[in-house]
Structure 1
């Protein structure tokens, strides 16, 4: 029964934090430390529940996702895979390519040296500072909806996503802040972040799962399924609520939360 409680807690943490600018990876590492749930099986479990969160956003944005993949419209100027004047597959590719490339090149280094409580706390603080900087230095809004995002903006947002390879920095935080710095509004930056998260996280999670599937066993099926379902449900609710909240309070309160979390964890856990 205890392991199912851990599964539910981690599923809630993943669902709540995956698409919020607070770092799901960082939260899973920190809560894993508190729950005593660490090691290879814990890492594999985190990959599985991430897929639950991905599924939630994929379903929420299914019309947009299927629109991007509508091969029947081909290369026509209006609609289709590479249509101009609207979000298309080129935007997605150039936004995910930089971080995917760096992730592949640095995968071993990241997994070996950066997945620890102390590095997460550093990521939480620096990521929070980046978010506040973006709020202060955001440029004139030229993209107030997804179809107004340019290729240049998509690429620059993709470059900012590289920062999220550091656990604790937050992929969502990096991309939303990057969007503000290149001329998107908060809602557009968040929605673009959600959409590029689908291929990005499927690729990253799939790669990690191929390397760690041997840690799965038949006895763990129920444990993993519970975490997956909880993550899916909570992520669905979190995404819907976050868009409304972000437009009201912006990024700074999330940055302050990150600072408080890092300080509390350092003072009560690491310092002790």
Structure 2
């Protein structure tokens, strides 16, 4: 299970780091500039260093550190980690999250509700992109679902965002226990809005709307075999490529495990060692008493 957890975090970061080069681009623009992106390049609209990860990985780390600080009731600690990260003046913060940061006056849920009213929606993928450590820390499904929902409601008021986190983490939990990827996805999307025919591309853009993002994640996972093919497919679609590739890489990384990830990609991550250490801490925490 530890190898799968390391695979999930490193796989997530690989997708993030590779996807920053093509974020907000169209497939045609990517082809004209790069041909096909098959490695971590850096650059992109925010000028990332080669091997540097974006807000996706930074917020994932923040969630993990918040849980490690207080696994019984982690929300306040997660919030403190968010604010510490904000104060580092990161290169990129999503619109919904940055708006919630401005609206935060001591109550995260209220801040998220205000943001929802201001923007007219809060169904972005900003909570889905950071929720994976919850599946690693909690073996109890009810607890995992609860924390998945509560951390989502901190910044995104819409139920579509928290619903996606629950589905994603339930799939991750199945993979941690050795379930086959296709079976895990099929079991958890049955009867949901994600229960569609993935033999064809989803009829939506690979955008930051959480429903669109997760449909594309499932498309790549169900139509490509290797870790590299899954990530390369997501990266070269552009649009919200870093987040979709990261979310995809998280699940695929759990399935294949850390030892099966391509060294050419993992060795380029600037935060590889820290992510491996974080996986070890989450593994040690798992199965301890995490009941409120």
TM-score > 0.5, shorter chain as reference: no
TM-score of the superposition, structure 2-length normalised? Answer: 0.29
TM-score of the superposition, structure 1-length normalised? Answer: 0.30
For the pair shown, the structure with the greater C-alpha radius of gyration is 1
